[in-house]
């Protein structure tokens, strides 16, 4: 964690420095979108990092600033000078806090609430900038300097990559020069000279290792923060997740690791927040209750690929499109024309969130567009594979700018090549008798320990030159399958730095990069999957397809704990979803029990004697356009429904029968009977309280109207169609729907205090 904190501090400090220009520019021209975006990204990143570094004060400040900036980005707020000053004050405070953390001191949090409050100041009030409390000045530098360095405090500096590159090539030059020198000195055969050279040689090697380490880092460094991040993210949402990490030992350019850190954090958070379902929903979908997140790094050709695979719900592209359509109706035609892939890519659009509420975790979906920008800045690509209902795979592909690889040096087609050690299973000598090479048609097949593998000859592949029978075979193992690569000779294994080769060379399609070993002759690194592709090898899918012979899927049922403490079953197809509801969302009203959700009322099954106020979880049932909420204590698991059911005693009850699950008889709820037994099955019609007396009517008449089976509204929102309006006599003519006229004086047809007459009139209208 200390390492992470140090990196966070260094990074924040550096970004702040780079940002100071932007801030000044933004102050001068608050409408500057690009500057606004970069400031927004800064606070967003801080917010993200604080979450898992456990820095609540920084998190609070950055979250508040982010909210305000998001409102500006969304066009809901105009950046006036008061807002700009407030944001600047917060950014200053972030800088001060970061310095204080670095120094290991506490920092007085006076005025932080004020700083945050200043953000919310009503723009019209035009809070003078002076009223915003300016951040207290830094602790006296002298005092800081006097502060003794904490023991165990790891110090670090940041260097330009260019400088490191020069250092690295300088050391490589030195190694080559040493080798030349060594060759010549050996001819002289002076033992004293040789001893001196030996010493020089050792220190040069050591130096090279050190310098290489300054530039390279194992991908593990990038992954080390993820388990904690995934765990904390999941915990704060009440989900559980297992994180699987593979390929952490790939060594990568530090620069790339830094560039990938933010995108990776965002993607993992998004996967936990948006991708993985709640435990209950997962159980309902027949998945294990704990979500799985796999982060896999691998090298393919001249790319490093990091896959982040979740087994959540995937992306609902329909909702994505609907959301964009709602915000930007003018794009309707364009959106209609998109294919599924293009629809999926909409997720990268700026300011889009597939989620409507903002969570402290991944915020407002700012992630994906920023993630894409960051990855592309690193010269990489981001791609998505969506499996609706099954999960989402996000692949980050970044160019292999620099990597250290354990390589086998081999001879083939008259040239020396390198093959990644990792992809070679074994090397066999052809004349050893362990293998047999058979010509089959135009190609060759290798028979090795009873297994036939296709053989590829580089010379044949590239020039169609007739090749000599190979002397060695490298058995290459790819993810798709194995093949034998024909070799003329095998030299040795070396740890070498791989660098990208020029496009003119890469177009051969069989190289992954170039290396320069100590003898000073360049070597091309072979890309085994590229070779297999170029040779047109197709591998039988190792994975056996799920056999299609199962004719009848067993009916699945959800086992749940009912509110009366009994365990019951319901056919899972009848359950639309399992929903957690807020306290007070279920109420006893108008003679029935109702759940208010998504702005609508849904009837609640009250057969098991539920107490309205205690309901926290419901099963949402749907059939034939009707909706019903079935209150439960909790969902337990999905089980296959046994074929044998004992019929229930009461043919008209809501229990269809008894099933035996794990030796225990369990009642199976009949969803159709539930719907049939509904007191009011349909959605309640709307009653609009219209005109200047609306408030009075709401206060006095609402209970009466609700008792008559209506839902009361004061204004018509889009998509709603009131069945009837209620208005005072003289205003009734302008109402948008047929209206009941309430009269002000006693004795008129519908006097406004005559409860009985009002109920009668409303009921008559419904009928």
Residues binding other proteins (CB under 8 A): 169-170, 172-173, 175-176, 413-416, 458-459, 461-463, 499-511, 514-516, 520-524
Nearer to other proteins, 96 or 411 (CB): 411
Instruction: Sheet with 586-589: list strands edge to edge.
Output: 586-589, 592-597, 600-603
Nearer to other proteins, 166 or 721 (CB): 166
Contact 428, 448 (CB under 8 A): yes
Largest CA distance in the chain: 130
Which residue from 260, 250, 263, 294 is spatially nearest to 276, judged by alpha carbons? 294
Nearer to other proteins, 179 or 395 (CB): 179
Nearer to other proteins, 82 or 523 (CB): 523
- Rounded to whole angstroms, how far apart are CA atoms 134 and 389? 50
- Tokens read off for 88: 């600047």
Pairing mode of beta strands 523-526, 216-218: unpaired
Nearer to other proteins, 245 or 458 (CB): 458
Nearer to other proteins, 388 or 509 (CB): 509
Nearer to other proteins, 169 or 748 (CB): 169
Smallest gap from Cβ 362 to other proteins, in A, equals 35
Nearer to other proteins, 170 or 288 (CB): 170
Smallest gap from Cβ 174 to other proteins, in A, equals 8
Torsion of CA 702, 703, 707, 709, to 10 degrees: 30
Computed on alpha carbons and rounded to an integer, the radius of gyration of the chain in Å comes to 35
Nearer to other proteins, 152 or 414 (CB): 414
Nearer to other proteins, 74 or 522 (CB): 522
Nearer to other proteins, 519 or 730 (CB): 519
Give me the DSSP letters along 342-400: HHHHGGGSTT--SSSS-BTTTBTSHHHHHHHHHHHHTT-EEEEEEETTTEEEEEEEEE-
Smallest gap from Cβ 171 to other proteins, in A, equals 8
Nearer to other proteins, 420 or 459 (CB): 459
Smallest gap from Cβ 84 to other proteins, in A, equals 40
What does residue 488 show for φ and ψ, rounded to 5 degrees? -90, -25
Nearer to other proteins, 178 or 355 (CB): 178
Smallest gap from Cβ 10 to other proteins, in A, equals 26
Smallest gap from Cβ 304 to other proteins, in A, equals 17
- Rounded to whole angstroms, how far apart are CA atoms 211 and 196? 23
Smallest gap from Cβ 346 to other proteins, in A, equals 32
Nearer to other proteins, 169 or 614 (CB): 169
Nearer to other proteins, 64 or 409 (CB): 409
Nearer to other proteins, 412 or 590 (CB): 412
Smallest gap from Cβ 170 to other proteins, in A, equals 8
Task: Tell me how many degrees the CA angle 617-621-627 measures, rounded to the nearest 5.
Answer: 110
Q: Give, to the nearest 10 degrees, the angle between helix 2-28 and helix 81-103.
A: 160
- Rounded to whole angstroms, how far apart are CA atoms 214 and 209? 9
- Rounded to whole angstroms, how far apart are CA atoms 457 and 470? 8
- Rounded to whole angstroms, how far apart are CA atoms 118 and 68? 10
N-to-C CA span, the chain: 68
- Rounded to whole angstroms, how far apart are CA atoms 40 and 66? 6
Nearer to other proteins, 462 or 648 (CB): 462
Contact 447, 438 (CB under 8 A): yes
Nearer to other proteins, 333 or 502 (CB): 502
- Rounded to whole angstroms, how far apart are CA atoms 652 and 668? 14
Smallest gap from Cβ 413 to other proteins, in A, equals 6
- Rounded to whole angstroms, how far apart are CA atoms 402 and 257? 11
Smallest gap from Cβ 513 to other proteins, in A, equals 10
What does residue 342 show for φ and ψ, rounded to 5 degrees? -65, -35
Smallest gap from Cβ 298 to other proteins, in A, equals 24
Smallest gap from Cβ 469 to other proteins, in A, equals 19
**The residue count for the chain:** 767
Q: What is the 3-state secondary structure (H, E, C) of 690-756?
A: CCCCHHHHHHHHHHHHHHCCCEEECCCCCCCCCCEEEEEHHHHHHCCCCEEEEECCCCCCCECCCHH
Q: Which region, left, alpha or beta, applies to residue 722 given φ > 0 means left and ψ of -120 to 50 means alpha?
A: beta
Query: DSSP alpha helices (H): ranges in 387-480?
Result: 458-463
**Residue whose entry in the numeric block shows the structure tokens 């050792």:** 202
Smallest gap from Cβ 533 to other proteins, in A, equals 13
Q: Give, to the nearest 10 degrees, the angle between helix 366-377 and helix 33-53.
A: 100
Smallest gap from Cβ 498 to other proteins, in A, equals 11
- Rounded to whole angstroms, how far apart are CA atoms 725 and 729? 12
CA distances to 262, 291, 355, 361 from 358, in Å: 20, 22, 7, 8
Smallest gap from Cβ 524 to other proteins, in A, equals 6
Smallest gap from Cβ 175 to other proteins, in A, equals 8
Smallest gap from Cβ 167 to other proteins, in A, equals 11
What does residue 501 show for φ and ψ, rounded to 5 degrees? -95, 165
- Rounded to whole angstroms, how far apart are CA atoms 269 and 230? 7
Tell me the helix, strand and coil percentages in the chain, rounded to 5. Answer: 40, 25, 30
Smallest gap from Cβ 345 to other proteins, in A, equals 27
- Rounded to whole angstroms, how far apart are CA atoms 477 and 762? 77
């Amino acid at each position: 964690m200390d390492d992470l904190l140090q990196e966070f501090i260094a990074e924040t400090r550096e970004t702040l420095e780079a940002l100071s220009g932007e801030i000044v520019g933004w102050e001068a021209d608050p409408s500057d979108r690009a500057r606004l975006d970069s400031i927004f990204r800064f606070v967003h990143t801080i917010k993200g990092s604080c979450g898992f570094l456990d820095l609540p004060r920084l998190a609070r400040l950055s979250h508040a600033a982010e909210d305000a900036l998001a409102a500006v980005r969304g066009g809901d707020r105009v950046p006036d000078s008061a807002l700009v000053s407030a944001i600047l004050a917060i950014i200053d405070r972030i800088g001060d806090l970061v310095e204080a953390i670095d120094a290991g001191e506490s920092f007085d949090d006076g005025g932080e609430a004020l700083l945050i409050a200043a953000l919310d100041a009503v723009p019209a009030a035009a809070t003078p900038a002076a009223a915003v409390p300016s951040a207290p000045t830094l602790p006296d530098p002298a005092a800081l300097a006097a502060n003794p360095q904490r023991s165990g405090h790891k110090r670090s500096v940041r260097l330009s990559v260019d400088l490191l590159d020069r250092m690295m090539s300088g050391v490589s030059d030195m190694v080559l020069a040493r080798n030349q020198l060594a060759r010549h000195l050996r001819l002289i055969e002076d033992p004293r000279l040789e001893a001196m050279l030996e010493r020089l040689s050792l220190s040069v090697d050591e130096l090279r290792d050190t310098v290489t380490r300054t530039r390279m880092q194992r991908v593990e460094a990038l992954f080390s923060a993820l388990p904690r991040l995934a765990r904390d993210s999941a915990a704060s949402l009440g989900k559980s997740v297992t994180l699987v990490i593979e390929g952490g030992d790939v060594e990568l350019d530090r620069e790339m690791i830094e560039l990938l850190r933010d995108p990776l954090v965002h993607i993992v958070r998004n996967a936990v927040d948006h991708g993985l379902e709640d435990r209950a929903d997962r159980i309902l979908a027949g998945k294990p209750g704990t979500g799985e997140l796999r982060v896999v790094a691998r090298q393919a050709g001249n790319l490093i690929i990091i896959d982040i695979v979740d087994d959540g719900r995937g992306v609902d592209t329909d909702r994505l499109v609907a959301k964009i359509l709602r915000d930007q109706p003018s794009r309707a035609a364009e959106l209609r024309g998109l294919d599924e892939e293009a629809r999926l890519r909409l997720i990268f659009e700026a300011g889009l969130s597939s989620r409507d509420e903002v969570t402290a975790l991944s915020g407002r979906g700012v992630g994906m567009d920023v993630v894409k920008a960051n990855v592309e800045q690193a010269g990489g690509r981001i791609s998505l594979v969506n499996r609706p209902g099954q999960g989402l795979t996000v692949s980050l592909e970044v160019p292999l700018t620099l990597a250290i690889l354990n390589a086998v040096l081999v001879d083939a087609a008259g040239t020396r090549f390198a093959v990644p050690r990792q992809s070679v299973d074994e090397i066999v000598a052809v004349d050893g008798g362990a293998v047999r090479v058979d010509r089959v048609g135009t190609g060759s097949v290798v028979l090795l320990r009873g297994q036939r593998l296709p053989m590829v000859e580089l010379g044949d592949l590239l020039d169609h030159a007739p090749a000599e029978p190979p002397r060695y075979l490298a058995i290459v193992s790819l993810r798709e399958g194995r093949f034998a690569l024909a070799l003329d000779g095998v030299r040795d294994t070396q740890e070498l730095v791989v660098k990208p080769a020029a496009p003119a060379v890469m177009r051969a399609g069989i190289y992954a990069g170039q290396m320069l070993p100590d003898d000073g002759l360049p070597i091309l690194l072979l890309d085994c999957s590229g070779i297999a592709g170029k040779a047109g090898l197709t591998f039988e899918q190792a994975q056996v397809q799920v056999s299609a012979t199962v004719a009848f899927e067993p009916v699945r049922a959800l086992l749940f704990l009912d509110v009366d403490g009994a365990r019951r079953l319901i056919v899972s197809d009848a359950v639309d979803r399992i929903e957690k509801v807020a306290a007070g969302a279920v109420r006893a009203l108008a003679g029935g029990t109702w759940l208010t959700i998504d702005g609508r009322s849904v009837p609640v099954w009250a057969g098991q004697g539920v107490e309205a106020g205690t309901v926290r979880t419901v099963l949402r049932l749907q059939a034939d356009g009707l909706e019903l909420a079935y209150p439960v204590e909790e969902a337990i698991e999905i089980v296959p429904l046994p074929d044998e059911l004992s019929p229930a005693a009461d043919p008209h009850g809501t229990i269809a029968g008894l099933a035996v699950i794990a030796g225990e008889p369990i009642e199976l709820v009949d969803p159709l009977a539930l719907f049939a037994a509904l007191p009011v099955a349909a959605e309640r019609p709307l009653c609009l309280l219209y005109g200047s007396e609306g408030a009075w009517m709401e206060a006095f008449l609402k209970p009466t109207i609700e008792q008559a089976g209506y839902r009361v509204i004061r204004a018509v929102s889009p998509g709603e169609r009131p069945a009837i309006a209620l208005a005072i006599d003289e205003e009734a003519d302008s109402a948008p729907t047929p209206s009941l006229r309430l009269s002000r004086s006693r004795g008129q047809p519908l006097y406004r205090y005559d409860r009985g007459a009002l109920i009668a009139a409303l009921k008559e209208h419904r009928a």
